[in-house]
């Protein structure tokens, strides 16, 4: 079953930060990982992906730098900041809270 983007909305930033917590990475790679993990059930649309990176950088949660590939397409790498790590933890807490809230509201 396809899951509506309205339900996933609000988790994009958390998802991206989670991958950057493991290691610096770039858009295309993160999206591939998402597809692998979800058995191709889910992917971020490119426009969503790149606007999310901009947003996170504007918020100071990540920084970006160009990779030094000497072959193939250029890659813009992202790294999570300390502020980004704090934000990630806050997002996780918020998720735990909202799960309970939603559960309490959608069942009779």
Q: Name the site residues for its own copies (rule: CB under 8 A).
A: 1, 3-4, 6-11, 14-15, 18-19, 21-22, 34, 37-38, 41-42, 91-95, 97-99, 101-102, 104-108
21 binds, among its own copies, DNA, none (CB under 5 to 8 A by kind): its own copies
- Across 2-41, b (16+ Cβ under 10 Å) vs e yields eeeeeeeeeebbebbbebbeeebbbbeebbeebeeeeeee
CB of 38 to DNA, least distance (A): 14
- Residue 38 belongs to what H/E stretch? none
Site track 14-53 with DNA (rule: CB under 7 A), x = hit: ------------xxxx--x-----------xxxxx-xxxx
CB of 78 to DNA, least distance (A): 8
In the sheet that holds 25-26, the strands lie side by side as 25-26, 76-80, 62-66
Q: Is 65 helix (H, G, I), strand (E, B) or coil?
A: strand
Q: Which residues are near DNA by CB under 7 A?
A: 5-6, 8-12, 26-29, 32, 44-48, 50-55, 69, 71-77
């Amino acid at each position: 079953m396809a899951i509506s983007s309205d339900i996933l909305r609000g988790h994009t930033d958390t998802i991206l930060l989670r991958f950057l917590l493991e290691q610096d990475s770039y858009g295309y790679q993160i999206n591939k990982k998402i597809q692998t993990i979800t058995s191709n059930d889910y992917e971020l649309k490119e426009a969503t992906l790149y606007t999310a990176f901009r947003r996170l950088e504007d918020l100071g949660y990540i920084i970006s730098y160009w990779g030094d590939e000497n072959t193939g397409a250029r890659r813009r790498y992202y790294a999570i900041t300390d502020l980004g790590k704090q934000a990630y933890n806050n997002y996780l807490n918020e998720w735990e809270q909202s799960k309970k809230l939603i559960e309490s509201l959608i069942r009779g």
